[in-house]
A and B are shown apart, each in its own frame.
Chain A
Amino acid sequence: MSETTDLIRDMAEKLFGDACEKSVLAAAENGQFQTGLWQEITDAGLAGALLPESAGGSDLAIEDALAALRISASRAAPVPLAETMLAGWLASSSLAVPEGPLTIAPASNGAPLTLKKSTSGWRLDGVAKRVPFARNAAAILVLAEADGANMVARVDPKICALTHGRNLAMEPRDDVTFACDLGAGDVAPASNHVNAETLRAFGAAMRANQIAGALSRALEITLQYANERVQFGKPIAKFQAIQHNLAMLAAHSAAANAAADMAAEAAANDMNLLPIAAAKARCGEAASVGAGIAHQTHGAIGFTREHMLHYFTKRLWSWRDEFGKESDWSLIIGRAAAKAGPKKLWSDIVTA
């Protein structure tokens, strides 16, 4: 681990540890965008993590950006950090991006958006479903094909029709209808490595890292509760049945974190698809099992709005579905394996 990595991690631990108080999380659930927290994230250089320095970004290594993202998720930071990082990656040096939170489209499967040259510039049409934080974004970075080439468009959400939606953690997930005339300077060819598949894969790598962070915290909260809660005259953590459940929660959390590391490495390695697919599938499963054990251990108190646990479990339940759920990514792996044939199964696992 490099010195830079350590510095970024320490900085992120401090920033998100201090800033993500319960009042912040509760206010965000009530629909208030957390501008103070966002400002701190911007000042720390994390919002521009994947933008080149020439574009005013901090040009972090992808692994370092994802490490910071994982830490933000371990505090349930209710902001579009993943999406702003993705937008920076999409824009790269070809499009300037405004200050402020950003998001990307498409963020989920659906009919493709159409982008065509017009007399004054470009015309973008179509609907992007469940775009994260679209209502809060200073710009939506849209990936679309024009004449067979991947193009990136910068769109102000104010000129789009938004239908508000939310995920289970009350994070904005808005349907965005584009019927926009864009200037010639609002659209640029995507970088070579950017296409619909790599965008979805990078989104999945981000969510895998967020799941790993949130699950680590769910484990932490659950261990603390089990050590404090007394029933039958002793802390429930002393009961073997509880210990075995907590052991499995820890095992799934460890697996999710290892898988998230695998996704981060693969994202940095030309967005290598299969390890990211495996990571998102594995993390999604860990999210389901882990959230279940965390709630079971907490009993009724963990089921209340008052308790912290739900800020993490609701994110786990949401993020496991976003940018492809377990079955979507398992299918990609299964297809590749079936196509390669049984004789290549092992060597493909090793090479992936």
Chain B
Amino acid sequence: MTQLTFAPPPPNTEATETLRAEVRAFLDVELAHMTPRQRAQSWSGRDPAFSKKMAERGWLGMTWPKKYGGHERSALERYVVLEEMLAAGAPVGAHWIADRQSAPSILRFGTEEQKQFFVPKIARGDLFFCIGMSEPDSGSDLAATRTRATAVEGGFKVNGTKVWTSGAHVAHYMILFCRTDAKSDDRHGGVSQFIVDMKTPGIKISPIYDLSHEHHFNEVVFEDMFLPTSALLGNQGDGWKQVTGELAYERSGPDRFLSTFTLLIEGFAMLGENVDDRAKIALGRIVAHLMTLRRMSRSIAGMLQRGEDPAVHAAIVKELGTSLEQEMVEVLRLIVDAEPDGGADNPYVAVLAHTIMHAPSFSLRGGTREILRGMIARGLGLR
């Protein structure tokens, strides 16, 4: 049958549950000062000092080889740390992208020199990355990218503009996706990836404030920026293939259904134990969805462990997961008698406001709902 099935996830072990207890004990102390409103930022919340503490515990670069500063633990152990961090609303945003996808890409496609230079620093929590993919005329249509790296003596000269670049103003490096060769018949050919030091002359970073007046996004303009040949990641012209693998990492994790978990916690807290049955039904349904998604997402951790390609499975988890995150807002709105107010002292009311204002991004960032549905359709053999 043409089915997209999720194999049973690897079972919990003594190692995973010992680790879980360690993470919880750590979070009890480290997050004690955080308000629900701060926790609701989920993996958009940045705290480099917190990232450093996680690194000291060995919780960054968990699955990477020890020779590059990693800890050679299983994908499931890494999953335990991620889900515990997200469920607690830990401020993991500073290192999130580097740990989730930049270092794994460097380990897969990088030169020995790149691996030795970047990966240990990422594992130590000293280097943070951002992703240079979207452009003014290239959003979902990544192949329409226009930023161009032209070969010059000793390297490349880059011109172009990236937008919606989360964290460009605080990241140390960017993995830049751009055109290196003329457009060929192959729409996906002629693009490459580079590792770019954000201090390189010729980069101009400007904030783009979101509708909450928060500064996560940036516009990044490259004007005759020189990159040495050593900045190339992987083979010239292989950018499309490389970036597709990177996106699977970006889409498969618990960050795609747990980023509103603080809202659910505060909803339960607001309603209390004696809330009526209709509310319990509505909330119980959400928990049922979360339990199923968690199983599917852990199944993908098993696929990663076995070296399988989870791209289509990841698309399913992200689409179902972000839909649930968005629906959660609507469900809680209807059963809790309160109006959203981001400045309120009431934690539920403040978290609700935050979540409503960020919910539209859930089904945009990391691949839009429409792109994901197209990927699933391709997985079904329809395209």
Contact = CB atoms under 8 A, between A and B. Distances in A.
Contacts of A334: 277, 279-285, 287
A238 B377 CA distance: 10
Chain B contact residues (Cβ within 8 angstroms of A): what range?
Answer: 35 or more
A338 B284 CA distance: 9
Given A254-B5, A257-B6, A346-B261, A227 B285 contact: no
A179 interface: no
A114 interface: no
A105 B294 CA distance: 34
B288 A216 contact: no
A276 B320 CA distance: 20
A326 interface: yes
Interface stretch (B64-72, B144-152, B158-166, B262-270): B262-270
Contact of B284 (A238, A247, A279, A337): A337
B288 A243 contact: no
Interface string A332-345: 11110111011101
B112 to A, nearest CB: 39
B377 A333 contact: no
Interface string A236-254: 0110100110111011011
B2 A258 contact: no
A240 to B, nearest CB: 7
Contacts of B266: 342
B382 interface: yes
A285 B2 CA distance: 22
A331 B281 contact: yes
A235 to B, nearest CB: 9
A254 B283 contact: no
A281 B280 CA distance: 13
A111 interface: no
Chain B facing A: main interface SS: helix
Contacts of B316: 250-251, 254-255
Nearest to A248: B373
A275 to B, nearest CB: 7
Contact of A216 (B3, B373, B374, B379): B3
A240 B374 contact: yes
A181 interface: no
Contacts of A346: 87-88, 261, 265
B292 interface: yes
Interface string A16-33: 000000000000000000
A160 interface: no
Chain A facing B: main interface SS: helix
A338 B261 contact: no
Given A251-B319, A254-B4, A257-B5, A335 B284 contact: yes
Contacts of A279: 288, 292
Contacts of A275: 291
Contacts of A250: 3-4, 316, 376, 379-380
Contact of A243 (B5, B265, B374): B374
Contact of B287 (A248, A254, A333): A333
A247 B299 CA distance: 19
A243 B377 CA distance: 6
A102 interface: no
A259 B295 contact: yes
A338 B272 contact: yes
B8 interface: yes
Interface in A309-332: 326-327, 329-332
A341 B2 CA distance: 42
Interface string B239-280: 000000000000000000000010011101101111101011
Contact of B295 (A227, A261, A329): A261
B273 A330 contact: no
B265 A253 contact: no
B303 to A, nearest CB: 13
A219 interface: yes
Contacts of B291: 262, 274-275, 278, 282, 349, 352
A265 interface: yes
Contacts of B313: 254
Interface centre among A258, A333, A345 (most CB of B within 10 A): A258
A226 interface: yes
A350 interface: yes
B100 interface: no
A341 B288 contact: no
A282 B288 contact: yes
A44 interface: no
A6 interface: no
5 contacts: A250-B316, A255-B292, A282-B291, A335-B277, A350-B83
Given A261-B8, A333-B284, A346-B265, 14 more contacts: A238-B382, A243-B383, A244-B370, A247-B376, A247-B377, A254-B4, A257-B5, A257-B6, A259-B295, A262-B292, A275-B291, A330-B282, A330-B284, A349-B291
Interface of A: 216-217, 219-220, 223, 226-227, 237-238, 240, 243-244, 246-248, 250-251, 253-255, 257-259, 261-262, 265, 274-275, 277-279, 281-282, 285, 326-327, 329-335, 337-339, 341-343, 345-347, 349-350, 352
